[in-house]
Structure 1
Amino acid sequence: MDARGNVVDSSKVESGSGRTVKGINDYEGEITGNPARGSRFTRLQIGMPVKQVTDLIGQPTDQGAYMTGKAWIPFYFGGDRHRFELVYKGQGRLIFAGGGVGNFTSGNLIWIIHNANEGGYR
């Protein structure tokens, strides 16, 4: 991040570098960076499901999923074992946690990374 709080490289942003917020249904999440002028991300709230987000702001430029460290804890059946990421060119990235077992395209929004310089690909 630069001195003004703008994200320079979304892939290098670390959790905890933004501000913590409470969203829909008491979901806790984080918002990092400053929104681009006319950003569609300003319509989003932490806790929104993937489908609601894509209905509001459209399809992403790129997307992907990855496992978190919690996936390797024996007998852990809680949430956040995997995350799903949507990337929007010129807007930033959206990170979702949770969802059903084997369904990487579900979950709720937990992190908004604003980046006006986002290239659009992971």
Structure 2
Amino acid sequence: MKIFYLALVTVLFFSHPCFSTEPLSPIDQRYVERLSIGGPTTIRDVAKSIYRSEQANTQVLDVAAEVLMRDYQVAIDNTQIDALAWVIKALALADTNRYQVILAEVAENASHRKIAKYARKMQDDDLPEGPAYEPGSVVLADYEPDQASPVAGASAATESNREVHPITIVREGMSIQEAYDLVGYPTSEHTYQTGKQWIPFNYKGGDIRRQAALYKGQGRIVFSNTSRYSNSWRVLEVLVDEAETGYP
């Protein structure tokens, strides 16, 4: 009987999301590394990518949750505050109530009203029951890469040695630099305007330009501009085509 209970406890322990031994995908591995070593701008960009791709790995969200718990009472400048607001939005992608307890705590004790507002907004009492995330159960240092990556300021040699993946790994909502970090630079690129350029009330100017990154023998990645006031591009779609010549 003791052996039975020991086996049961072991199974439950390692089946808990915090202790999943399933290897992370290359994208998710990059996410946890950038969250663990990145500053506010990097954390914001990762959280945006997670939220816009609508694909949330529990291990990644746990790391994001630990970053939130580390910073929510000390964030004071606009970049830090904005980064944590996006982290909270990313945590809302969870399909259980795993992060609801910490969102309630953040809503009550956050250093800035914007962080508290987003924490309150993203609380949801209707989510299915699940094991709650326990602050401190993730050690951020465990996710730091063994060697410096471009996120931490790597050398050109380190950058050239990075593994390059096929374009099929790219997710909608990724930033252009994030996509290029994963799949390398394209054979060629070309930019063109869309019909939204001429919509009278499109004040923000989103998706008025698109940029196609052509990869010979693979296809193309299409990026869309997020605003006329910035040079930010996000993945709109990935078109797989083995007959792609790589040139417009």
TM-score range, shorter chain: 0.5 to 0.7
Alignment of 1:1-122 (within 5 A): 24-27=50-53, 40-78=166-204, 79-101=206-228, 106-122=232-248
Q: Structure 2 vs 1, CA of residues 82 and 27 (structure 1 numbering), >3 Å: closer, same or farther? A: farther
Show CA shifts across 1:10-44 (max 9, x none).
xxxxxxxxxxxxx842358xxxxxxxxxx701321
SS of equivalent to 2:181: helix
**1: CA distance, partners of 2:177 / 2:222:** 13
Query: Which structure would you say has the larger Rg?
Result: 2
Give aligned-pair identity as a percent.
36
- 1:102 is displaced (CA, Å) by 6.9
**Contact 1:24/1:46 (8 A) holds in 2:** no
Q: Structure 2 vs 1, CA of residues 102 and 91 (structure 1 numbering), >3 Å: closer, same or farther? A: farther
Q: Structure 2: which amino acid aligns with 1:84?
A: Q
SS of equivalent to 2:202: coil
- 1:115 is displaced (CA, Å) by 0.6
Q: Structure 2: which amino acid aligns with 1:85?
A: A
Number of matched pairs: 89
2:7 aligns with none
**2: CA distance, partners of 1:24 / 1:110:** 14
**2: CA distance, partners of 1:69 / 1:116:** 29
TM-score, normalisation: structure 1: 0.63
SS of equivalent to 1:51: helix
Contiguous gaps of at least 5 residues in structure 1:
1-22, 29-38
Structure with the higher fraction of residues in helix conformation: 2
RMSD over aligned Cα, in angstroms? 2.2
TM-score, normalisation: structure 2: 0.33
Structure with the higher fraction of residues in strand conformation: 1
SS of equivalent to 1:59: coil
